[in-house]
Amino acid sequence: MAGRPYRRRKDVTVVSLLLLVLAMALGPTPSSAAGTDWWVPTARPAPDSQINVTGEPFKGTNAAGEVRGFVDAHNHLMANEAFGGRLICGKTFSEAGIADALKDCPEHYPDGSLAIFDYITNGGDGKHDPDGWPTFEDWPAHDSLTHQQNYYAWVERAWRGGQRVLVNDLVTNGVICSVYPFKDRSCDEMTSIRLQAKLTYDLQAHIDKMYGGPGKGWFRIVLDSEQARQVIEQGKLAVILGVETSEPFGCKQVLDIAQCSKADIDAGLDELYGLGVRSMFLCHKFDNALCGVRFDEEGLGTAINVGQFLSTGTFWKTEKCTGPQHDNPIGGAASAAEKDLPSGVEVPSYDENAQCNVRGLTDLGEYAVRGMMKRKMMLEIDHMSVKATGRVLDIFEAASYPGVLSSHSWMDLNWTERVYGLGGFVAQYMHGSEGFSAEAKRTDALRDKYDVGYGYGTDMNGVGGWPAPRGADTANPVTYPYRSVDGGSVIDRQTTGERTWDLNTDGAAHYGLVPDWIEDIRLVGGQDVVDDLFRGAESYLDTWGASERHRAGVNLAKNAPAAASSSESNPFTSYAPGRAVDGDDGTRWASDWSDDQWLRIDLGSTNLVGKVTLDWERAYGRSYRVELSTDGATWQTAWSTTSGDGGLDTATFTGTPARYVRVHGLDRGTDWGYSLYEVGVHSS
């Protein structure tokens, strides 16, 4: 009897040890125990959305020292604050909680009868169940364009699923705001941009608070590429601010007269840069004082053309395209927006063989482009007319500036290689997995050639529409749960309140389903497409970093002595040879109106010459040569063309010692002579 208590204590001790060992083997380790996981907030609001992802987000770099992860190059986290504040219903976050954040606009109650923009964009009568939290019967949905899709917890799920870069484009449109009947604030575009920037910083603070204080959350607004790399290496989400608006800095045009100045552009760029903006569009939807736009199509195109008239007093004007690139056909579909036109005014009809906007990059637009280059900002060319885009690419190529982005499939795809050749970044709109995979494979050889990754632009809250469900009965549905691309996390169906979403039957209804959509791409398009996407973060930061490191090259020709075969005579101005090297793009050299003309520049001493830029006036050379000489007597051809088309040409060739550079015109492109605003000569 005396021994029994001892044996009992020994048995209990053995059992306890066994249970401890079992717990260590099967349960969470101390580093990932509840409450200590760095990726799990210590104070998430209750109630709130579920994330439905388990496992630690990946950190660090790959074996080559490159960051990993997906890039959403085009999103609108705060679009609910745009267009007067009542077009997109629901908030990205609210200090009052999810019930306050995810609720419909007041006029949508009780049945959506006054959801005017909803039925304009989605057809039908616009009626829907307005209740968001907790039932979400009718929204968010892949085809609901007026309800919040970027609730912060859904963004968190995308981050947990492997996304590491998010570009938050601050967006609005003053004309849409002015014509939409429901609003609660000013329609001034810059006022809305400022508010959206502030709220993005507020969102960062909101998430930080859940994780214990400033700097501790996963949502990190970054101001330079090195900071972005550090954030991604920590396993967090790098958030970059961009701008997509129709009249930046107040640069609208009325009856083709600019309503802004160079001073306005400088002040606007400085303000945006100070807010943290590092990429932006110069025009969007409507022609403005900076550039012409790439048209929208069909009924939507008609509606936007009406808005163009209401904003500027002019409709879109088209011309026959001169190259393989073209703008979208406007089409002649009717739109309810036409009733907003003044009596007697009608949308013009358009020649189907003339699909290019006559409006390109204006002088003010070129000033803005160069201003962005000085500030090391990245320029979005989506939405620009092909004429404007061509000029932008010419400018960037002349300066070897890599900061060009196409973030959501709104440029002509024939520009793709020029963008990659500059060192730029390309992302595709969030199409369905079949279409997205097909386009990704079409450009796969180019990505291999330039050794770059790929991105997607979800355009969530951007009134664009998102992938529809492929159906639960498809041959290769997304099977839940599934593993993340890096293999470290398990992702299940996403639940918020009483609603659980399944990509197979719901489509890409909100941002939390981005990982599911990527898994669908893997199933449809294969692992290679997803691998390219997983390299997106590194490639985006390569473009950004190269833009930051860019330094303007020395122009060896500036103010150098120049001579020419002839100069056009004019009693009011000079077209002397020196006008082409004076650094003033408002002056020019012009020859007599005949062929076999030349402009010669004396660099003063022998230099290594590898690039010559030529900014042609309308009187351009169709066939011409760039010739080099060390003594001014013996010439060698370094570069030539027989298909010049004017604009800004960049001739690059193997670096060659030369003191003299000659542009030798052989065949004119017009009946006039040869005329150059500026010639630049560079070592490389």
| Domain final position from 549, 583, 602 | 549
Q: Are residues 527 and 620 in the same domain?
A: no
Of the three residues 495, 516, 549, the one that is the final residue of a domain is 549
CA distance 466 to 458: 8
Domain for residue 7, yes or no?
no
The predicted structure's pLDDT at residue 63: 94
| 470 shares its domain with 601 | no
Alpha-carbon gap, residue 589 to 566, rounded angstroms: 10
Q: Are residues 503 and 649 in the same domain?
A: no
Q: Please tell me whether residues 542 and 568 are part of one structural domain.
A: no
Q: Show Cβ contacts of residue 387 under 8 Å, excluding neighbours closer than 6 positions.
A: 292, 356, 357, 358, 359, 360, 361
Q: Specify the CATH number for the domain of residue 156.
A: 3.20.20.140
Residue at 6 is within a domain: no
Q: Examine residue 666 and state whether it is found in any structural domain, yes or no.
A: yes
Range of the domain at 636: 562-683
Q: What is the Cα–Cα distance from 42 to 31, expressed in whole angstroms?
A: 15
Question: Domains in the chain: how many in total?
Answer: 2
- pLDDT under 70 in the chain at which residues? 1-35, 122-123
Q: Identify the H or E element spanning 156.
A: helix 152-160
| Cα 132–Cα 134–Cα 138 angle in degrees, nearest 5 | 40
pLDDT value, residue 333: 86
Let me know if residue 225 belongs to a domain: yes
Q: Tell me, what's the pLDDT at 123?
A: 67
468, 575: one domain:
no
| 175 domain residue, yes or no | yes
pLDDT tens per residue, range 620-648: 999 999 999 999 999 999 999 999 999 99
- Cβ atoms < 10 Å from Cβ of 223: 13
What does pTM read for this prediction?
0.90
Structure tokens at 643: 């298909």
| Contact present, 270 and 197 (Cβ < 8 Å) | no
Asked if residue 118 is part of any domain, the answer here is no
pLDDT tens for each residue of 198-250 = 999 999 999 999 999 999 999 999 999 999 999 999 999 999 999 999 999 99
Give the C-alpha distances (Å, rounded to integers) separating 498 from 55, 92, 473. 24, 19, 24
CA dihedral 149, 154, 158, 161 (to 10 degrees): -140
Residues 482 and 398 placed together within one structural domain of the fold: yes
Do 522 and 377 belong to one domain? yes
Task: Note the maximum CA span of the chain.
Answer: 128
Is the bond preceding residue 45 a cis peptide, omega within 30 degrees?
no
Please check whether residues 542 and 570 belong to one and the same domain.
no
Among 500, 522, 549, the domain-final residue is: 549
From 674, 621, 673, 613, select the one nearest 646 (Cα to Cα): 621
pLDDT at 179: 84
- 307 domain-assigned: no
Do 261 and 372 lie in a common domain?
yes
Burial of 620 (0-12, 13-18, 19+ CB in 10 A): buried
For residue 572, give the CATH number of its domain: 2.60.120.260
Pair (265, 158) in one structural domain = yes
User: What pLDDT is stored for residue 21 in this prediction?
Assistant: 35
Q: Please name the residue that has the structure tokens 């309810």.
A: 336
What token pair was written down for 516? 């599911």
Same domain, 590 and 659: yes
Q: Is residue 309 part of a domain?
A: no
Indicate whether 172 and 76 sit together in one domain: yes
